[in-house]
Amino acid sequence: MSIQSIVGHLRGPTKSISYQWVKRPMLLIRQWCWTKLLRRDRIEFLAKNTARADQAVMEQPLTAAYLESNTRVLPYLIANGLKPNDRFLDYGCAFLRTGLYVIPHLEDGLYCGADISMGRIERGARMLEEHGISRDRYSVVVIEDSKFRPLQNLKFDWIFSNSVIHFMDDDELSRCLATFNAILSKGGQVHVTFPRQEQDALLTAKGQFPRTAERLISLAANAGFRTTLDTYKGSNFGDHHIAVMTR
């Protein structure tokens, strides 16, 4: 066995020795104590864990390249029927980079960003302000746990979620999809992207939950949705999968 292959093994699929052997095991131990010993909600754990990093996140530079990598999102949404008077939920909005393109297309107040990370949302709000989009033109909610309470009294014509559902295990995603069904207007649609299969090993190594299209369709059916699969043309990074759910 060569030195190179030993180092490759130590770095693991995430290509980081410190992540593979220190950060990830520590996180898993804390998560295990939280979910198994204390029997608390895993999304609540992630939300609290994310909040610990908020200070660093607030300082994060959002480069022009990062923001411009999302320019195709609005053409995709419009091609699929997004209208200026649609109520739009961007689930897992992170730094609101979809909002940058979608908010100006919508009537004021109709875009809502949701994420477990308040830090990311706040950093995104600062970025939007710098682009002339003031805070009163959209709303945001912070997801605290898998009860999804902040969404419950809201209604949307569109629910869009890019690169988020693999952060949830099947149980959490089932509850999330049931919430989507409850808050979706009549005739509304849900578009969720999901990773390509070749990313499975990396995502699993990071503690995420890649799943097959069949599994996703089955979870969506249990939540009351009919699903069609498509190729997502809204990313500048190449084609991804997207599931389009309707009642």
Q: How far is the CB of 191 from ligand SAM (least distance, A)?
A: 12
Most distant pair of Cα atoms in the chain: their distance:
62
Instruction: Confirm if 86 and 74 have CB atoms less than 8 A apart.
Output: no
Could you say whether residue 110 binds ligand SAM (CB under 6 A)? Answer: no
Could you say whether residue 243 binds ligand SAM (CB under 6 A)? Answer: no
Name the burial class of residue 94, with classes exposed (0-12), middle (13-18) and buried (19+) by CB atoms within 10 angstroms of its CB. buried
Round to whole Å and give the CA distance between 121 and 136. Answer: 14
Q: How far is the CB of 130 from ligand SAM (least distance, A)?
A: 17
Round to whole Å and give the CA distance between 242 and 61. Answer: 29
DSSP track, 75-122: HHHHHTT--TT--EEEET-TTTHHHHHHGGGSPTT-EEEEES-HHHHH
Q: How far is the CB of 69 from ligand SAM (least distance, A)?
A: 9
In the region spanning residues 11 to 70, those forming contacts with ligand SAM, defined by CB under 6 A, are: 43, 50
Q: How many residues bind ligand SAM (CB under 6 A)?
A: 17
Instruction: Confirm if 51 and 118 have CB atoms less than 8 A apart.
Output: yes
Nearest one of 147, 121, 120, 132 to 56, comparing CA atoms = 120
Q: How far is the CB of 143 from ligand SAM (least distance, A)?
A: 5
Which residues have a Cβ under 8 Å from the Cβ of 185 and sit 6 or more positions away?
87, 155, 156, 157
Could you say whether residue 162 binds ligand SAM (CB under 6 A)? Answer: yes
Residue range at the interface with ligand SAM (CB under 6 A); choices 27-35, 52-60, 86-94, 236-244 = 86-94
First to last CA, the chain: 55
Q: How far is the CB of 31 from ligand SAM (least distance, A)?
A: 13
The tokens describing 189, both together, are 């649609």
Could you say whether residue 121 binds ligand SAM (CB under 6 A)? Answer: no
Residue range at the interface with ligand SAM (CB under 6 A); choices 2-10, 31-39, 104-112, 163-171 = 163-171
Rule CB under 6 A: choose which of 94, 118, 177, 219 binds ligand SAM.
94
Q: How far is the CB of 87 from ligand SAM (least distance, A)?
A: 18
Residue range at the interface with ligand SAM (CB under 6 A); choices 89-97, 103-111, 151-159, 206-214 = 89-97
Rule CB under 6 A: choose which of 87, 102, 120, 227 binds ligand SAM.
120
Instruction: Give the interface with ligand SAM as residue ranges (CB under 6 A).
Output: 43, 50, 92-94, 97-98, 115-117, 120, 143, 162-164, 167-168
